[in-house]
Every structure is written in C-alpha cells, then in structure tokens.
Amino acid sequence: MGRENSKNVWVFIEVYDNKIRNVSLELLGQGRVIADQLGEKLVGVVIGDNIAGLANEVIAYGAETAIVVSGNEYKDYSTDGFANALTALVKKYAPSVLLIGATRNGKDLAPRVAGRLETGLIADCTDIEVNSEDRLVEWTKPAGNMMSTSICPDSSPQMGTVRSNVFKKPAPDYNRAGEIVAEDIGTKADDIRTKIVEIIKTVQGETVNLEEAEIIVSGGRGMKGPENFAILKELADILGGSVGASRAAVDADWMPYAHQVGQTGKTVKPKIYLACGISGAIQHLAGMSSSDLIIAINKDPEAPIFNVADFGIVGDLFEVVPLLTKEFRRIKNG
C-alpha cells in the first residue's frame, strides 16, 4: 500500500481474559504522542468476543476512535481469524502507522498482516519516534551489542511490534469523548483452520508473565545451579512476586526461557527488581533498568549491576536471601 492516502495512527489492542494487556495501553500512550506529532488521529482496534465494553477504555487511554470487531469466532486468538480481520480493516481505512505489542500473539499476527499488505515490519522495538524532517516513524531495536534504527519509507502502514514496559502507561481519562465503530468482517468459523482444544496452564514455562509482575526476584550465574533457584522462589512467594533469570542462567538450563530478563528475553518494569548473583551485563540491564527500585546482591563489589542499583548488598546471596525471606515472613505473619 502506498503512503499518499494513508492517515492516522493505529494500535492493535490485545485482550486477555477480557482485559486489555498492559503493552496495548502503553502503546496507546506512545501512539498518542506520534499521532499528535503527525497531526493525525489515534485509533485503537479491538478484536474479540463480548468486548464492546473495552471500547470506552481505549478512548479513555487516548484514542479518538475505537474500532470493535466482535464475535464468537474471535473468542480465542487464532492466526487466521485475527489476521483476516486486521488486514481487512487496514485495507478499508488505510492507517499510516500500525503498532502491535511484541507479545506471543503479536509476534504471530504482525508478520502475517504485513505480508498480506506487502509492507515492511520492524520487530521487537524498544523505542519509536517521528523524524521531523520526512515525518517518517523511526523504529529502534536491539542489534547484538548495538541498537539499530530503521524506517519504512516506501510502503504503508509503517508497522512495528514493540516490547512491553518500554513506554509509560498513560493515566486514563474516563471523561474523554470518542467515536466507537463496530465492524463486521464476515469471518466464519470454517475460515479459521485451527481450533483450540484445551488451554493448560503450567507452573513453570511460557505462562510466566514477568512483563506485568510488580516484584521480580532474579538469579544469574551466581546461583551456581538450578536447584538453588528454590531460595529465590521462596522469597518471591513471600513477596507476592515472580522469579526471573539472566541469560547465563537460562543458557545453562537452570531456568526456562520464559523467565529470561534482558535484551534477548523480556523487558520488565516492576516496582521492585531484586538481582541475585547477576553481574549486570549490558544485555541484562537493557531488560530491567527501568524498574522503579533495583536491589542488587553480589559478592563482587565491582559488579556493573551496582551502577544501576538503588540499593546494593555486597555479600553471599546464599546467606543474604534466606535472611531476607525469614525477615519478610516474620513481618507478613505479624
């Protein structure tokens, strides 16, 4: 699609358990910034079942318009159903920019839509801004030990998937007025080639939702082995948090990839991030340095993690962590 007649910034609104995912709300905030810079409107696209009530939330978080595609065929995410719907909407309305969260579903959906539209896609971005000279969106993403910035000058929409927690979620204004547009794509159940038979939630694995955790207790190479992550889990459970891991710990098969924090893992922004036995390689810092409060425990006083930590404890984590767990349990039990 050409850029000549394209207009408005779109955000695909991902819904899970009938709630809007945080990354979509974050993108509404940044989408608002981009739309204002381009002098265009911000539009949120919601696809799902029984989701009409979410349209007002989309407007409250900054959109002028919420486009709603609702039906039982969209009850669960499917590649066919969602790609068909989003592609049809883009062809009808011709937005200039389309932002999608870099979630599992977003990473599945975005390339298929981009392929059908014959436009470019910049994946896994950590920043987006408008170039004032040519009014193109610049997409920044990790590239090994460097950061790369890309543009898509010749086709439309300019598309990108964006990581969670790289933009601040805006404060909602439920007094904002906006337009709600209901669209019927005409997708039938037979058009969807896959069917979800059963959803099984596991304790450890891909269902770990570190991106939305408020407290994360992470371990690195200093944990010395997979069995020692039990002390981190015990502390995390007391605090009501989740367990994370550095790439070194994941590469050593001490923890599943779903727990990996960093440039090649998940970008997190909890209220408290407790780094245990993590040296602080730049790739790890890229995924957690925006945390509200960072506490580091490491035997090496020169470890780079202390450069970003709000509080640091130079000591043996195998002594410090059990003491923290004991004290927090005492406080919790009154």
The number of C-alpha atoms within 13 Å of 303 and in the hemisphere containing its C-beta is 26
The annotation status of 283 as a binding-site residue, yes or no, is yes
Q: Give the integer Cα–Cα distance in Å for 334 and 330.
A: 6
Contact 300, 275 (CB under 8 A): no
The annotation status of 279 as a binding-site residue, yes or no, is yes
Q: Give the integer Cα–Cα distance in Å for 182 and 218.
A: 44
The annotation status of 246 as a binding-site residue, yes or no, is yes
Contact 256, 273 (CB under 8 A): no
The annotation status of 298 as a binding-site residue, yes or no, is yes
The annotation status of 277 as a binding-site residue, yes or no, is yes
The annotation status of 59 as a binding-site residue, yes or no, is no
Q: What is the four-CA torsion angle of 84, 85, 88, 91, rounded to 10 degrees? A: -110
The annotation status of 282 as a binding-site residue, yes or no, is yes
Q: Nearest Cα to 248, choosing from 290, 305, 191?
A: 305
Q: Give the integer Cα–Cα distance in Å for 100 and 118.
A: 17
The annotation status of 280 as a binding-site residue, yes or no, is yes
The annotation status of 262 as a binding-site residue, yes or no, is yes
The annotation status of 175 as a binding-site residue, yes or no, is no
Please, what is the Cα angle at 176 between 211 and 50, to 5 degrees? Answer: 60
Q: Which two tokens stand for residue 13?
A: 């609104």
The annotation status of 264 as a binding-site residue, yes or no, is yes
Q: Which two tokens stand for residue 181?
A: 């547009």
The annotation status of 261 as a binding-site residue, yes or no, is yes
How far CA 122 is from CA of 100, 157, 161, 273, 307, in Å, comes to 10, 12, 7, 29, 31
Strands (E), the chain: 9-13, 15-16, 19-20, 42-48, 65-70, 97-101, 121-125, 127-130, 137-143, 146-150, 158-162, 179-182, 215-219, 242-245, 272-276, 293-298, 311-314
The annotation status of 34 as a binding-site residue, yes or no, is no
Please, what is the Cα angle at 146 between 143 and 147, to 5 degrees? Answer: 70
Residue set of the binding site: 221, 246-247, 260-264, 277-284, 298
Residue set of the binding site for FAD: 221, 246-247, 260-264, 277-284, 298
